[in-house]
Amino acid sequence: MTAAPELVLHPLAAEFAAGPTSATRPVTAPLSGAHLHDLPLSTLADVRRVVAAAREAQRSWADTSIRDRVRIIHRFHDLVLRRRNEALDLLQSETGKSRPDALEEILDVALVCQYYGRRAGRVLKRRRSRGALPLLVGVEVVPKPVGVVGIIAPWNYPLSLSVSDAIPALLAGNAAVIKPDVQTSLVAAWAGSLLREAGLPDGLYAVVTGEGPEVGPAVVDEVDHVMFTGSTATGRRVAEQCARRLIGCTLELGGKNAMIVRADANPIKAADTAVRACFSNAGELCISMERLYVNDAVYEEFVAEFARRVSGLTIASDIGWDGDVGCLISPAHLERVKAHVDDAVKMGARVLAGGRARPDIGPLAFEPTLLEGVDESMAVCREETFGPVASLYRVFSDDEAIALANDTTYGLNASILTSDLRAGRAMARRLNTGSVNVNEGYAASWGSMGAPMGGVGESGLGSRHGDQGLLNYTEPQTIATQRLLGFGPQLGLDRQKWGGVLAASVGAMGRLRI
């Protein structure tokens, strides 16, 4: 009889909410295909247990001063930057992304800590509000934590889309239970170990593991608010489940983002921007550009410059700083990207750059690809590819470009490249997307932590970042204090006369126009 292979458990496996006899799942490295570790899988009982423990820990955490919560997050910020190479290695190992793309996640976490560390005290403080009758009614509004926040995070940005959402939840006085993708669970566990090292009490940040369709619904069933990032189809199911429980949810979902290159754009600068906008993180980025609408006046020069740059991109084959783009996350995702390109070519599209899988570089490597001649008969025209593929479309006016950019059920992000910033901003206001970047692809809006980041239409519900990204995880409580006279008849007046007094008082308030 052949002996069962010995399990390879990563040291961070101790961070997972899974029992010692849990089933495991092998995890392989996208860059090489080598076995990375065996992931212990949480059971439904594990989910209930860890949420119950989080709920218990949250009660005392909610009574902790905001200043003390902020101190812990500041220490965590320092640890993340000091030990960033650990996270960079984990990110590359689990996702196959290039190291510069992995660094973006580290910097994102640091920026989130900085922003909410500065804002939490002001946003979460009790505030006075005008009462029904000034002087007679005093009102204060208290933002109270919702309790336990469930964060269901995807594989493409496993650090940013887990801990960067946990930071505001924790600062608001909540506990956070993270359900990362099975491929990218270690980096979420790494963040948890650093949070505890920074002084976060036990039980407030927990990681449950397992396949999304099995463990994800269990998390939604137990928590008090859900932050979900992923596909539109799954987002709908999460929203329906939250609605049945009457709990809040924030959803960032799919996109088919458009870039508009205006007639006045500098073709060389535009090509530089487009490369980053389309191929950062190998296109496995929900806010990257997949559709490029290029004005006829600059089309030929822009396309020549863009294609030359895309053809020159190198694919990372190992952990380290070599390589412009990474590989894809899984064989299934590689097949999806390949199918989109092959279908387009079969239907008449032309490949201007890339277009092939590169098993000679790595098992999941696919060349950054630029397509021309794409039309509605091709899947790549409207379906989100979520890979290193961009399609070019020639347009003849700004109005045409805007109409085509808006011709989608999605509405996550968009980009406008122009030398006329005023015209660019005016065009941006006509686009039906949650964010628009003028002369950038995505980093300008995403990195502006004080502004909301979210989608419209089939791209999501609610937003992260900004003050709302903190208030998402609170419930406002209104405390109204009645002074002196009440609303019922007073001063010995009958109902009719007292009604006249109330009407006169309200009328006087209206004349003040305040």
- Select from 266, 283, 382 the least CA-distant residue to 324: 283
Active-site annotation holder among 15, 104, 222, 252: 252
Cβ burial, residue 301 (10 Å; 0-12/13-18/19+) = middle
Rounded Cα gap, residues 114 and 388, in angstroms: 32
| Length of the chain measured in residues | 514
- Contact criterion met (CB below 8 Å) for 171 and 66: yes
**Is residue 61 within 8 Å of 29, Cβ to Cβ?**
no
Q: Find the catalytic residue in 278, 286, 327, 381.
A: 286
Give the Cα separation of 149 and 220 in Å (integer).
9
Sign of torsion, CA 181 187 188 193? positive
- Report the C-alpha gap between 11 and 53 in whole angstroms: 23
Q: Check: CB of residue 429 under 8 Å from CB of residue 413.
A: no
Q: Do 19 and 43 contact (CB within 8 A), yes or no?
A: yes
- Half-sphere exposure in the Cβ direction for 405 (13 Å, CA): 32
Report the distance separating Cα 374 and Cα 350, nearest Å: 8
CA distance 112 to 58: 21
Active site residue 252: yes
How does strand 248-252 pair with strand 460-461? Answer: antiparallel
Burial of 63 (0-12, 13-18, 19+ CB in 10 A): exposed
* Structure letter (DSSP) for residue 478: E
Q: Provide CB contacts within 8 A for 65, sequence distance 6+.
A: none
Decide: 180 and 209 in contact? Cβ < 8 Å. yes
Task: Look at residues 54, 354, 80 and name the one whose alpha carbon lies nearest to residue 177.
Answer: 54
DSSP notation for 386-453: -SSEEEEEEESSHHHHHHHHT-SS--SEEEEE-S-HHHHHHHHTTS-SSEEEESSSSHHHHT-TTS-B
Instruction: Find the DSSP H helices in 223-362.
Output: 232-245, 267-279, 296-311, 331-346
244's tokens: 């049945």
- Beta-bridged to residue 293, according to DSSP, are 260, 393
Active site residue 284: no
The set of catalytic residues is 252, 286
